Structure 1
Amino acid sequence: MKIRKVCVLGAGTLGSRVALQSTLSGYEVTIYDIHPKALEDSKIVMRKIILQLSKASGLESEAGFSAIESITFTDDPNVAVADADIISESVLEDVKVKNQVWELFGEIAPEKTIFTTNTSFLLPSMFAKISGRPDKFCSLHFHDVFYAKGVDIMPHPGTDPSLIPILEDFGRSLEQVPIVIKKENHGYLFNAILGSILSSAGKLLANGVGSFESIDKSYMVNFRVDMGPFGIMDTIGIDTVWHVTMNNKEEGAKDFAAILKRMLDEGKAGVKSGKGFYTYPNPKFKNTDFLE
């Protein structure tokens, strides 16, 4: 099967990046969201990424802006999925929402369409049946897309094995490194490791062992990296971290989830809202004296 048309469901942080990289890689792209404002915000995000890429990689900004103009932004499900060869779903990390999305698109998508979910923590088998096409369902999980270029391919027991090489080729065409997961696992490989780190950091904060800044400093200075666990959470999105934490049954997770919920109620969703644990676009951890 040759993939030509890509349908992205969800115009948030990651969906916007998948859509942009897909159009830059020569695919015909539609991006769907139930909220028109999210679609407008997606265009803004894409333009910012193009400007960053033009400085970092030499991509001509006008060519990038033209690529954005070629994308179909729509809140009409039928328009979004018309003639789609593959769906990349990046909606809210919530089982109920994802079930509603896959029930709808399972009914209206063309017979040829491959179904993929970009879920960070949930399992493809949780949604395969409700999609109506479990054999065509697989996780295809992107990270940052432009800076962290890994894409996880995680089938469920009922996934047609012939989809795997197709998804590997698709991932490579988007300049990603395909990583095939042998069996279902919450968080794939990297996210499972990262999740343990973020969970530990969250419990330390919730238990009053250290401030978020102190925890980040300890992590950054020892691993010699430029961002700590709470900066990472801001980048991922506090809403996504909250949904994952709510599904975590480990002791102490509920206390940290309560902190995240209060942040969301205050409009602190991380980088995308301008404020999370830190304030953006100039977070404190980027200051030259942060580790002094």
Structure 2
Amino acid sequence: MTIRKVTVLGTGVLGSQIAFHTAFSGFDVTAYDINDEALTAARGRFAKLVSTYRAEVDGAGDGKAEKSADAIVLTTDLAAAVEDADLVIEAVPEVLTIKQETYRKLGELAPERTIFATNSSTLLPSDLKDSTGRPDRFLALHFANDVWRFNTAEVMGSEDTDPKVFRAVAEFAAAIGMVPIELHREKAGYVLNSLLVPLLNAAMTLSAGGYAEPEAVDKTWRIATGSPYGPFQMLDIIGLNTPYNIMVNRDEDGKKLAAWLKDNYIDKGKLGIASGEGFYKYS
């Protein structure tokens, strides 16, 4: 079961990183998004990643980073994007209905051999598998933000996932320089977000409730734990739309935090680092 041609669906913050790093690792990569505006934004993200890799990643000099960006095929044509893909990595918005509809289309367009992998932060493969038309060739492959630096790739199948597919995707993750983290059972949030999401929610609860400003929460976390980032800095890196989409569909407490995030930040264009401002301002 060979993986050489990879298609990434969604060119947001993490989707762009996955596409770029996969191309940098020598794979043929196509990146799909819904319109030309999204692809223009993707080109900007790839250009920034070129600079980042040249500064931080061994072997990115001598034009390799630039060649990696140039080699990525960008398209708004979903059929063309997946027509010869060995692996499709889905990184579309964290909304169940959007992901389900995406997989229904994919199941009709992609070759039978194609493996589908979701980068969903919180949804289970079993939430999506029936939409794919190929539950045996579907699983989750979850990356951490800043993939070149925090290089884990969590691999989690459903009870229907073919073990050979699971093994092929774990080997692919290793081939692009990730450390495969294999989960033996389905768990919402995998390992990373099972630890991280409660921290981020607790931080937002503190500030939304008027107990402490985001800067004070972050300072406390950094000093007390030695972490390089506080939870609000992490949220800015992730982008505020992602936690909003997760919380707005949760319990009443989650909906209240989502409303606070929307009213005070998202509606004011403060979406995180990508927009130049979130909980902090960025040059």
TM category (shorter chain) comes to over 0.9
**Structure 2 equivalent of residue 121 of structure 1:** 122
- Are the equivalent residues in 1 in contact too, given 2:236–2:279 (CA < 8 A)? yes
Q: TM-score, normalised by structure 2?
A: 0.96
- DSSP 3-state at the match of 2:89: strand
CA distance in 2, matches of 1:139, 1:47: 28
Task: Name the stretch that deviates more: 57-66 or 12-21.
Answer: 57-66
Distance 1:79 1:61, change over 3 A: farther
**Structure 2 equivalent of residue 290 of structure 1:** none
**Structure 2 equivalent of residue 180 of structure 1:** 182
Give, as a single letter, the amino acid of the residue that structure 2 aligns with 1:223: T
Stretches of structure 2 lacking an aligned partner (at least 5 in a row): none
- Are the equivalent residues in 2 in contact too, given 1:51–1:61 (CA < 8 A)? no
**Structure 1 equivalent of residue 49 of structure 2:** 49
Deviation at 1:254, TM superposition (A): 2.2
**Structure 1 equivalent of residue 225 of structure 2:** 223
**Structure 2 equivalent of residue 20 of structure 1:** 20
- Are the equivalent residues in 2 in contact too, given 1:87–1:116 (CA < 8 A)? yes
Q: How does 1:1-292 map to 2 (within 5 A)?
A: 1-58=1-58, 59-60=60-61, 62-144=63-145, 145-249=147-251, 252-262=253-263, 263-281=265-283
- Are the equivalent residues in 1 in contact too, given 2:50–2:69 (CA < 8 A)? no
CA distance in 1, matches of 2:62, 2:209: 47
Give, as a single letter, the amino acid of the residue that structure 1 aligns with 2:31: I
- DSSP 3-state at the match of 1:252: helix
Task: Name the stretch that deviates more: 206-215 or 97-106.
Answer: 206-215
Deviation at 1:38, TM superposition (A): 1.3
Deviation at 1:71, TM superposition (A): 1.2
CA distance in 2, matches of 1:258, 1:206: 10
Deviation at 1:137, TM superposition (A): 0.7
Runs of 4+ residues over 4 Å off in structure 1: none
CA distance in 2, matches of 1:25, 1:227: 28
Task: Name the stretch that deviates more: 220-229 or 186-195.
Answer: 220-229
- Are the equivalent residues in 1 in contact too, given 2:218–2:230 (CA < 8 A)? yes
User: In angstroms, what is the RMSD of aligned CA positions?
Assistant: 1.2
Deviation at 1:147, TM superposition (A): 1.1
CA distance in 1, matches of 2:24, 2:57: 13
